[in-house]
Structure 1
């Protein structure tokens, strides 16, 4: 008799001992569960990430990326923040970006989206805020010059679907920045608490390469050991001289 299990699984532990393969996995959050969890956390989220040093880490990170976004014509850069949370990444970009940009922000949590809109408005940053799942982005292909996603991809049952969507809406010649929970002791703690995947930079680069992106670079997430040990970041470019036709490949994370 076979036990059927249709809930997507988060791999937690896997080892091979001779002919034995030992694997432990956990049910991922469903969409409604994930939305409810972040709705509950939204009012205190800024304080949490502030204590952990992520706002300044995001500024350091985007300072490394923003210069490359200043190339080209004088039109505002079209930016998409996937899983905007309370807006920390977008606020960091505004402080580091020397050029005007048009911001679109997406989140599955309406309360997070409200917090982000208020924070961005308070900083004088205009934003189109859309309640949507980043696994099914409501935008045309080749729409954005810069797509960024911080600590959202790993929460999804099927992160490869969201990754394919981000690559789809990215314009040829545009850049994609991913910040994810890395394989580390801190990453394990986050995984157990939030049922997340964990990624290493090599695997993220491989996935982006398989989807046609190039000029892949791994970046440090801030100057503090804490944020660097927690997270990894990879930036890549969608080639301007050919269509991005690479098929989706499942992401093997732990």
Structure 2
């Protein structure tokens, strides 16, 4: 955004938090994060999403021992909703830049009987082999990236051919912009998400609205499948 006033050119541009700033911010939030997501209805909204995906056949390929990578796992609310819906016998690998979030995620997953491991890493440089996972998840992480296209391509790299990725992002709107103001994330419209997913080599892309809690007004879920 630019203005020219007399002999002065004034511009305003989006500045994303650094990795260090995000790490400190989410380390601080970690002790209360799971409780807040529950209060705000996100945990139940995630469960309803996975129930819908299960009924539509998106998760039909998952079975006991299937491998899941949750990028930006936070306190594992997205993975916990998946495990409660499909099976607690999935193997979840959680990735996050915040060690405090990872510690809490590991605690909650183990308490729920989910086989898991956690890894502190930047999503742009994931330390896993190509085609390693049966499903990749990411809830409210993509919009924190200054280059979401690169982060999404790295997540797609991990997927086995024909396997799905489930993304949740903050969408534009008054509440989305309030979240953006506090947490420094962006807002991504369904059209932008589907375009990024297509560019990353995904097909059969679908968007699902949330039907419960604050997520109903702040978020959108998008599913895509890696081409064979």
By the TM > 0.5 criterion, same fold? yes
Deviation at 1:23, TM superposition (A): 6.1
Matches within 5 A, 1:25-174: 25-66=13-54, 67-71=57-61, 76-98=65-87, 100-174=89-163
Report Cα offsets for 1:108-130 as digits up to 9, x if no partner: 00000000000111111110111
What SS does the aligned partner of 1:237 have? strand
Matches within 5 A, 1:196-207: 196-207=185-196
Aligned residues between the structures: 222
Deviation at 1:221, TM superposition (A): 2.1
Report Cα offsets for 1:121-180 as digits up to 9, x if no partner: 111111011111111111011111110100111112222221110111111110011100
What SS does the aligned partner of 1:71 have? coil
Measured in 2, the distance between the counterparts of 1:132 and 1:65 equals 28
Deviation at 1:64, TM superposition (A): 2.0
Q: Which runs of 5+ in 2 are unaligned?
A: 4-8
What SS does the aligned partner of 2:134 have? strand
User: Are the structure 2 counterparts of residues 108 and 208 from structure 1 closer, same or farther at C-alpha, using a change threshold of 3 Å?
Assistant: same
Work out whether residues 76 and 99 of structure 1, in 8 Å CA contact, stay in contact via their aligned partners in 2.
no
Measured in 2, the distance between the counterparts of 1:23 and 1:185 equals 23
Work out whether residues 174 and 238 of structure 1, in 8 Å CA contact, stay in contact via their aligned partners in 2.
yes
What TM-score comes out, normalization by structure 1 length? Answer: 0.81
Deviation at 1:26, TM superposition (A): 3.4
What SS does the aligned partner of 1:171 have? coil
What TM-score comes out, normalization by structure 2 length? Answer: 0.90
Work out whether residues 89 and 115 of structure 2, in 8 Å CA contact, stay in contact via their aligned partners in 1.
no
Measured in 1, the distance between the counterparts of 2:170 and 2:92 equals 24
Partner of 1:244: none
